[in-house]
Structure 1
């Protein structure tokens, strides 16, 4: 099962995803994808960890999600935007390489015998970026969100903390 949770920044995606997984298992797995780029960001990550508590198995992985054995688990992957950002900056100007590497890694994790709850940002809701790099990233993010949504069984969008079900093939 793949459940994509998308929405704008600070819309409540992570908290909603955490509540979903805790209703399904008492052994949740949290796969965090962010690089730490400054002290403020480190503090945000630590606050996320503290909010989750000790029952979570935390896996920190910047790019190669498929390297981890999560078979038989329910995994919260948070978040696609930060994960994709790692490929984007590592690949410089090669946007096609970023998309291909991301799709290849997604296909590997979706082949695992586990359930995925995936958090991603809907960047296009925030208006048109003023610089070329941000526009390129928005385009890549949109392509990857569409790729995941097409494979997902459930897609939920959060707006101001309120979940709106967009797709559910399990009903």
Structure 2
């Protein structure tokens, strides 16, 4: 049976650092499942900073869409992050949020059938103002619905605010 911990918050709120510390607290050799695609040089540098923070105790897997294809049974798995994972579906499915959400939910359900401890990191995009960009408004809807879906199934939910973890569920 899986255990799910969702860690959410705004950009630069400390989500990934907290998630990494939680994974290392639970296992001496956790899995880091990175969902990012490299879009530009600035993002490449951001990914490198994340990688440098992790030591040899981590098993690193880069997978941008089909997370469930990896055997993670019995492991502590940090999925960083749902936002980038959803972005990949959003653009692969030509911004069709209904199709992207359905596919994300199916992949999530398949993934968490594995007997593992999952720590998911995500962003709370809808806490700010409404974007002028139609594409961004669509993505914010997709992200919000996926966050709600994962949170409803999570055993524990933590909201990060200014580097501080606030317990929301569990």
| 4+ residue segments displaced more than 6 Å | none
**Structure 2 runs not aligned, ≥5 long:** none
Give the whole-Å Cα distance in 1 for the aligned partners of 2:148 and 2:80. 17
Which residue of 2 is the match for residue 148 of structure 1? 150
Q: Is the 8 A contact 2:31 2:77 kept in 1?
A: yes
Q: Is the 8 A contact 1:70 1:112 kept in 2?
A: yes
- Whether the 8 Å CA contact 1:32–1:62 is kept in 2: the answer is yes
Equivalence map 1:2-41=2 (5 Å): 2-41=4-43
Number of corresponding residues: 168
Q: CA deviation at 1:124?
A: 0.6
Aligned pair 1:122/2:95, yes or no? no
Q: 1:74 aligns with which of 73, 76, 89?
A: 76
Judge conservation of contact 1:14–1:78 (CA < 8 Å) in 2: yes
CA distance, structure 2, for counterparts of residue 126 and residue 15 of structure 1: 22
Mapped pair 1:58 → 2:97:
no
TM-score normalised according to structure 1 size: 0.97
CA distance in structure 2 between the aligned counterparts of 1:7 and 1:127, rounded to whole angstroms: 15
- Give how far 1:93 is off: 3.5
Shift of 1:125: 1.2
- 2:5 aligns to what SS in structure 1? strand
Unaligned runs of 5+ in 1: none
Distance 1:125 1:32 in 2: 24
Distance 1:127 1:68 in 2: 37
SS at match of 1:23: helix
Counterpart Cα distance in 2 of 1:93 and 1:86? 10
Quick check: 1:8–1:126 contact (8 Å CA) kept in 2?
Answer: no
* SS state at 2:115 partner: coil
